[in-house]
Structure 1
Amino acid sequence: MNWGQHLQDYLAIRRAMGFTMERHEKLLTQFTEYLAAHGAATLSIEHALAWATSPDAADARWWAARLSMVRGFAVHLHALDAVHQVPPHGLIPHSRRRTVPHLYTATEIAALVRAAGQLSGPLRAATYQSLICLLAATGMRVGEAIRLERADFDADLGLLTVRGTKFGKSRQLPLHSTVTAGLQEYLHLRDRLMPQTHSGALLLSARGFRLRYERVWVTFHPLVIQAGLTPRSPSSGPRIHDLRHSFAVATLLDWYREGADVQAMLPRLSTYLGHADPKHTYWYLSAAPELLALAADRLHTHQEDPR
């Protein structure tokens, strides 16, 4: 059974439909290697479940996420040959409670940037400092940031072009002048430290390659500890993805405080964040008690307005 070829066929179909499939490719490659190592001629529920739950210490939600990726691949294979089994939904019970995001303060973000500055090697330190600042200032996804090409940054116009997003669309992000200046400073430094690179990426690793998603997560966790950040919720600690949540909430808070028409402005934030539907942006309204209080106060004022 040529598992590798079947996987590539499946990924090609999904990408043709607009999905990036980066994470799926990594995990499903591991799964097909597991099947090959066990001499499996067909995809069985037993093998799928054994692989999905193989990280013994992982949360059930992570097991369920792994199994969900296998399920999509299994559906594809089952359509080709009914001998392949499709794992049913709900096979791994888990809580669907959404993780409470850590909303970073400006002080905490500054502490993270200082901690990143202590990383070994001047280019590595500068890259992670720039990555953290970019995520905090634009709310882009981590994967979007590390996929940026140098050519995607227009310093003259103060624009970043984000290509190949989660939903297959590209978008342009106007940057604050301080962000533009910071990226220019980073590029001057990396050109001096590494004139010859192995990648056209905007953000480079210490060896001149594009940053890897998994490595970014591994590097970020010690920075949280070094910065002295502590979880605000027992269910979750500060994550790098929470910089995106923090940007969205801070933007909404600013609009409320300025008396802006948040309802009318929300589609702009959705577009900036790259959400496929504004309804996904509404979730941020419940992310901070202060934001909910401001929204409630706005509603109360509106109800009392005789007009």
Structure 2
Amino acid sequence: MRFLDVKTDFAFKKVFGSERSKPLLINFLNAILDYTGEYAITDLTIIDPYQAPAIKGMKDTFVDVKAILANGSTVIIEMQVLNVEGFEKRVLYNAAKTYAAQLDKGEQYSLLNPVIALTFVDFIMFPEQRETLSRYKLLETQTLTHYSDDIELIFIELPKFTLSLDDLNNIHDKWIYFVKNAGKLDYIPDALMVEASINEAFGIANEAGLTKAELEAQEKRHDFIRLQRGSIEKALHDGLLKGRTEGLVAGRAEGATEKALEIARNLLDVLDDATIARKTGLTEAEIKALR
């Protein structure tokens, strides 16, 4: 068997964004957000994640999956593979626009319901934090008391998730493992097969059940990602070569080293230490020190 790479936006929406996915998405969100007991999600409505601008001149924005929970809260879920400029602001913009779009002119602010932006990223966003999952809300900076829970930003950094199949002890970890690794598997591991919802997710992601058009759409997303990553590596190579040349012309080897360090700093959130070291000629210890 071959499965879709759930880290692409096409596959992520295919697995989690259809009406068939509703029970699966409920299980997924309860596990990822750690909603249990009275806070557990019991029902939701999956809606078209395309957000048309409500005001002329506002930017169009896209998210991979969007759902309204039974309690009125909205969850917008996005999968991001490449660390593009302005991405952090885009996440906040999507959440803020979704929050504001709930009201028509003249309606009371008390009608506003919470918005949760759940974002999976395939790169390191917060190098100072060790945890895979991080949550952000509006807080008072000295006492850390909550101002409002109405907008919550939740990030899951997949490179930080390093558990093996044998180390998966709960449904939360199993779902993250599925998202990160489904595209690399050629069978459903027993540790995941015992979870009915994850087993169903594998069924949706099975390439054998896809149409030719769907397979082509998936491959186009892979091509785009490969091209973007190739552009990053070319920029790295060209910049490093220029730095070395300038260093030789000036008769100072430190010129090339400084250029390599500058390039490495710009790639800390894009590539891992070993790749940066290989491309720049720096040691992994030097890359780690930069972080």
Whichever structure has more strand as a proportion of its residues is 2
Q: TM-score, normalised by structure 2?
A: 0.27
Higher relative contact order (CA 8 A, sep 6+): 2
Q: TM-score, normalised by structure 1?
A: 0.26
Whichever structure has more helix as a proportion of its residues is 1
